[in-house]
Amino acid sequence: MTIVSTSSLSAPTTSDLVAEFAGGAASDVAMMIGIGLVKDTDAVFFQYQGEGVEPLALLQNSGRPLTSLKNVTLSGISVADDIGEFNATKLNVILQSSKGVSVMVTSGLTTIWSQCVLNGLMSLFNGGDLTCPFNLDTWKGTSKMKPCFAAVKVNNVAMKDNELYQLLADARSDGNKQMLEQICRNAATQLSNGLTGGPVDEVVVETVQNGVVADF
């Protein structure tokens, strides 16, 4: 995986950022990458550089934005709550390059990018090989808000899980933000358990009626 930037993070700054975004856990992550942090640019991957410092767009040697993390494997996935001044909920995806370098890619849990990534990884999981190498492609949409999309590709084929896709699409169509978050949380938990050997269940969807959570 080639990541080119014009500056680097010091180890303490990287550790502090990763610890915050990962919920306080220590990590050997070399870089933390945010998605679509600056809207008025074609870049999609940004390196966090510390509090109060503008995130750095990741560029190729040609100067063009880096849009694909190639030949990476999934080594961790989690959800972190109450991050930053806005108490955001983040999806953290830890990827390892073919040379053993780990990076953490983070985005809001229910962003389109996170939904795309969860869908692709769930396809790998259901195919029986969650740790196979893949490319993580990312690009900006053409709508006014320019959301970032993603694809998990194996041998240039985008991985898709139709069941999870439909669950997410239905929740978006209904405007049910609580259900959308729950689906994403459940998927992340299932994927994490698939990596660590924890209990693996189907993605369960629940709905809330009059403040009571019920099976859907």
On whether residue 51 sits in a domain, the answer given is yes
Residue 79 lies inside a defined structural domain of this protein: yes
The reported pLDDT for the residue numbered 166 is 97
Neighbours of 115 (CB within 10 A): 25
DSSP per-residue codes, the chain: ---B-S----HHHHHHHHHHHTTS-----SEEEEES--SSSS--EEE---TTSPPEEPB-TTSSBP-EEEEEEEEEEEEEEEETTTTEEEEEEEEE-TTS-EEEEEEETTSHHHHHHHHHHHHHHHTT-TTS-EEEEEEE-SSTT--EEEEEEETTEE---HHHHHHHHHHHHHT-HHHHHHHHHHHHHHHHHHHHT----PPP-EEEETTEEEE-
Is 202 a member of any domain? no
* Regions of the chain with pLDDT less than 70: 1-27, 198-216
Quote the pLDDT of residue 136: 98
212 is a domain residue = no
4: in domain? no
Nearest CA to 191 out of 119, 122, 89, 131 is that of: 122
d(CA 20, CA 35): 17
Contact 79, 90 (CB under 8 A): yes
* pLDDT given for residue 17 in this prediction: 47
Name, in order, each residue with C-beta under 8 angstroms of 81's C-beta and a sequence gap of 6 or more.
23, 87, 89
In a domain, 88, yes or no: yes
Which pLDDT belongs to residue 73? 96
Q: Print the domain residue range for 95.
A: 11-196
Give how many domains the chain has, as a whole number: 1
pLDDT at position 197 is 81
pLDDT value at position 213? Answer: 27
Determine the pLDDT at residue 201: 55
In tens, the pLDDT along 59-109 reads: 998 999 999 999 999 999 999 998 877 788 999 999 999 999 999 999 999
Please give the distance of CA 153 from its chain centroid, rounded to a whole number.
Answer: 15
d(CA 205, CA 186): 8
pLDDT at 198: 67
Q: Is residue 214 part of a domain?
A: no
Whether 25 maps to a domain, the answer reads yes
- Residue among 137, 134, 160 nearest 149 (CA): 137
